[in-house]
Structure 1
Amino acid sequence: MSAGVVTEAEGLTPAWLGEALGGRVDDVVAAPVGTGQIGTCYRLTLTGDGVPASVLVKLPAADQGSRDLLAGAYRGELVFYADIAPTVAVRVPTCHYAAITPGSGDFVLVMEDLAPAVQGDQIGGCTVAQARDAVTNLAGLHGPRWSDPTLQDYDHLTLQSPADIDLLTELAPSTTELFVEGLGDLVSLEDRATLRECAEVVGPWSYARGERYALVHGDYRLDNLMFHPDGASGSVALDWQTLSLGLPARDLAYFVGTSLDPEARRAHERDLVAAYHRALLGHGVTGHDLEECWEDYRFSMVQGPLVATFGCAYGTRSERGDRMFATMVARSCAAIRDLGTLSLV
Structure 2
Amino acid sequence: MPTTTIAPTIEEITPAWLSEALGRPVSTVTSTPVGTGQMAVCHRLTLDGGETLLAKLPAADPAYRAMVAGTYYSEVRFYAEIADTVAIRVPACSLAVGSPVTGDFTLLLEDLAPAEPGEQLAGCTPDQARDAVVNLAGLHGPRWCDPSLLDTDGFALSTPEEAALLSELLAPATETFIEGLGELVSPEDRDTLRAAVDVIERWALARTERFGLVHGDYRLDNMMFAPGGGVAALDWQTLSVGLPARDLSFFVGTSLGPGTRRATERDLVAAYHAALVGHGVTSYSLEECWDDYRFAMLQGPLISVFGCAYGTRTERGDRMFATMVARSCAAVRDLGTLALVR
| TM-score range relative to shorter protein | over 0.9
Q: Does 1:61 align with 2:62?
A: no
SS of the residue corresponding to residue 48 of structure 2 reads strand
1:289 is aligned, of 285, 289, 300, to: 285
C-alpha displacement of 1:32:
1.5
Superposed counterparts of 1:149-188, under 5 Å? 149-188=147-186
Is contact 2:9-2:57 (8 Å) kept?
yes
Deviation readout 1:34-64 (Å, 9 max, x if unpaired): 222221111112225xxx7111111112122
2:276 is aligned, of 265, 270, 280, to: 280
SS of the residue corresponding to residue 24 of structure 1 reads coil
State the TM-score, normalizing by the size of structure 1.
Answer: 0.96
Amino acid at match of 1:40: V
Partner residue in 1 for 2:117: 119
Aligned length: 340
2:308 is aligned, of 309, 312, 321, to: 312
State the TM-score, normalizing by the size of structure 2.
Answer: 0.97
Is contact 1:38-1:66 (8 Å) kept?
no
SS of the residue corresponding to residue 201 of structure 1 reads helix
In structure 2, stretches of 5+ residues that fail to align are none
Partner residue in 1 for 2:36: 35
Q: Does 1:246 align with 2:247?
A: no
Deviation readout 1:314-335 (Å, 9 max, x if unpaired): 0111111111111100100110
Is contact 2:77-2:96 (8 Å) kept?
no
C-alpha displacement of 1:102:
5.6
Over the matched positions of the two proteins, sequence identity in percent amounts to 64
Amino acid at match of 1:37: Q
2:336 is aligned, of 320, 340, 345, to: 340
Q: Does 1:97 align with 2:98?
A: no
Is contact 1:37-1:316 (8 Å) kept?
no
| Distance across 1 between alignment mates of 2:30 and 2:319 | 33
C-alpha displacement of 1:29:
2.0
Partner residue in 2 for 1:11: 12
Q: Does 1:237 align with 2:237?
A: no
| Distance across 2 between alignment mates of 1:298 and 1:22 | 48
1:223 is aligned, of 217, 221, 233, to: 221
Partner residue in 2 for 1:321: 317
| Distance across 1 between alignment mates of 2:161 and 2:64 | 24
| Distance across 2 between alignment mates of 1:302 and 1:102 | 30
In structure 1, stretches of 5+ residues that fail to align are none
Partner residue in 2 for 1:44: 45
| Distance across 1 between alignment mates of 2:10 and 2:81 | 26
Amino acid at match of 1:17: L
| Distance across 2 between alignment mates of 1:229 and 1:208 | 39
